[in-house]
Every structure is written in structure tokens, then in C-alpha cells.
Amino acid sequence: MNQAKSHFRSELAIIPSVARVIAALVFVVMQICLLGLVPHFVHGPDIPPMPALVAISLVGGFIVAVIILMIGYVYADSKRRGMNALLWTLLVIFVPKALGFIAYFLLRKPLLIPCPNCGAEIGSDFRYCPKCGHALTPTCSHCGRSISGDYVCCPYCGKPVAAQATT
Ligand SMILES: [Zn+2]
Ligand SMILES: [Zn+2]
């Protein structure tokens, strides 16, 4: 459970500081407008009583701030996954009913990993590093298909794996 918590925290850490600042500003401005200005300038029976206004203002401000932080998260997350960050950010902003967010979390690519040989950012499903040609998963040197590192012989062509690895 602690691991899930720290994972959640490290995910939050990627939210750009611009998004944090905007979220905080929007929250403060909403409080000022709803609590400071509305009771002074709007009069009549339509205006809710002060406690209700405080609740609406806090909850509303919180929700808007969270949405802004999530948009910031999508931007940073899509960027580190090698996706089109601008396109996805615009999608989650303009597609209504949170459908953009749902589509993003369903369709996002797996995280990039560093190549153990040259350190370039590469897709986690790559078999070879496109930058340096390093083989990322063990492959049978006879038939070229990817195999598990603990196999004694290739399950596809039957050639011994260990003997090829030592030569
Ligand atoms: Zn590489
Ligand atoms: Zn093979």
C-alpha cells in the first residue's frame, strides 16, 4: 500500500509547476469572486445563504483546480511517453464530459525506458534500441525470435540457447 502511495506521489510530481500555479490562482480568484464580490453586488432572493455559498465556492474551486492539475498531468505524461502532448492536452480540455481524459488513460502508450547500453529513451515494447542497435530482449541467434533469458533451447527452432550465448 505504501508503494502505491509513493507511486501516486511520484506521478503527481510530474505535474508542471505552471499548472500548479494556475490551479492555485483559479482557486483563489474563485473564492474572491464568489465570497467577496457576489454578496456585495448581487442582491435578491436568488443568492444562497452564506454557509451554502462558502460550500459551493470551496467545492467548486477544488474541482476546477483538480481539473487544471489533471490537464497538466496529461501534458507531462503524454510528453514522457513520446505521444503528441499538445494534441492530447487540447483533447482533454475540449472533449466534453471527461471523455478526453477517459480516452487518454485507455490509449496512452507505455512509459519509455532508458536503453541499458546508450541511455536513449525507448519504448518498453522495443526489442532493439533504435539509437544504438542494442538487443533489449534476448533473441535466438539462429531464428531471431525473442526468447526468455532462462531458456536452454529456443522454443521455435530448437537450437540450444546456452551454447550460443557462451560463444
Ligand atoms: Zn541504445
Ligand atoms: Zn530459434
Domain ranges of the chain: 2-110
**How remote is the CA of residue 163 from the centroid of ligand 2, in Å?**
12
Let me know: does 47 contact 56? Beta carbons within 8 Å.
Answer: no
Q: Name the average pLDDT for the chain.
A: 87
Ion ligand 1 contact residues with beta carbon within 5 A: 115, 117-118, 120, 129, 131-132, 134
Instruction: State the Cα angle at 130 between 132 and 133, rounded to 5°.
Output: 40
For ligand 2, the distance from its centroid to the CA atom of residue 167, given in whole angstroms, is 16
Q: Tell me the DSSP string of 45-80.
A: TTSPPHHHHHHHHHHHHHHHHHHHHHHHHHHHHHHH
> Taking the model in full, what pTM does it have?
0.70
Residue 163 has pLDDT above 70, yes or no: no
pLDDT in tens, 8-59: 888 999 999 999 999 999 999 999 988 887 777 777 667 778 888 889 899 9
